[in-house]
Chains A and B, each alone.
Chain A
Amino acid sequence: MIKPINEMNISFKALSVNEGFARACVAAFCAQVNPSLDEITDIKTAVSEAVTNCVVHAYPKKVGDVNIKVELYENSVIIFVSDNGIGIEDFERAREPFFTTKPNEERSGMGFTVMESFMDKLELLKNEGRGVTVKMEKFFSIKKNIAVGE
């Protein structure tokens, strides 16, 4: 099993104001392996979609936490976005394009489709306690020079 060259964990309240922070934070962390601008933008978008799901769907009553764990490898990154919310009833259906549980709120229902398209692998995992973890992986195009810890 290959070990990540670096790891990061962040935790914050599931508030929309934190979306920009979350995607910027993950992007900045990934920058140390010199991904392309396109790859960084793809990652930022996928993180934004996953965090939006936590903000909009996970906590209908009381705002809870979002946890993001990032495992950085030489040529790839694995990002886990977790919540402790109400969970997703039907994973298959949630991943269908244009499916939304909130049709009256002008939601596109394309969140998972965007995550799937912009990342290379996507898994939805049911947490042991409550909530959901979105696990997504992105492979970087060219082998990079790594500079960790100076």
Chain B
Amino acid sequence: MTHHRWFTPWLLVAPAAVWLFAFSVWPSINTLVLAFTNARPLGGEHFTGLANFGRALNDDQLADALVNSIVYMLVCLPLLTLLPLLIAILVEKKLPGIMFFRTAFYTPVVASAVVVALIWGWLLDDRGLVNGFAQWLGVIAAPVPFLTDRWLLLFSAISLTVWKGLGYYMIIYLSALGNVRRELHEAAAVDGAGPVRRFWSVTVPGVRNTMLLISVLVSVSALRVFSELYVLSNGTGGPGGRDMSLVMLIQLYSRGFTGHLGYASALSLVLLAVTIGPMLLLLRLNRKAA
């Protein structure tokens, strides 16, 4: 039995439904179509079969980007799964002023990736604070080329991502920690378990599902990295363009009048292919939790 006119629900969902089709469903279909064309910003668009994918197979920059993505993911995964948990434990206690610390730790999340990358770019500059300080201490003789070396640039971007992500995952852990039973901790303490032991035997099992969720989120967002690498390398993708990420390549080919939208769409499908694994895992976890 309904208690409203038949069109009322449709009126209410109409805007969202329009957005769903215009900006989610249709672009998904269109990406699939464009990937098999030579579409350009100006002028014609012809079906070219698998040409874009053939080109992708021989694209050295794409190979570099895939290597970068995997390195990015493998380094971010352990760091961003564990460190935010430790920080969440630090700020879990109901101390006076703890809200200040929570807010402060969340600050890098609120700031734009561009802002954060510009700040780090200055810190890691040849004549920036980090190099200056290390030279003053005498740890290094010449500045470390954080931003101009192929691998150092990648690792600088990774540390920036980790630094910016700490607060975000800390918050998710924080709401999970609330569900870990206090009695378990107390019982373990009575049995003589130290803090380290209690962390591994009580806290970690208690937040296991959240940990899985976070490791999926971290993996997917590592594969999607863009702003950090773009800003730190000033849009160049580092020495020889070898520090491109997948999304940087997509942006590179979709921009401006000389863009190659067909190839950019094919690269988008490559991105989808690498993120789909963790994403499906996430869906399964969600279903279990529900």
Partners in one complex: no
| B interface residues, Cβ below 8 angstroms from A | none
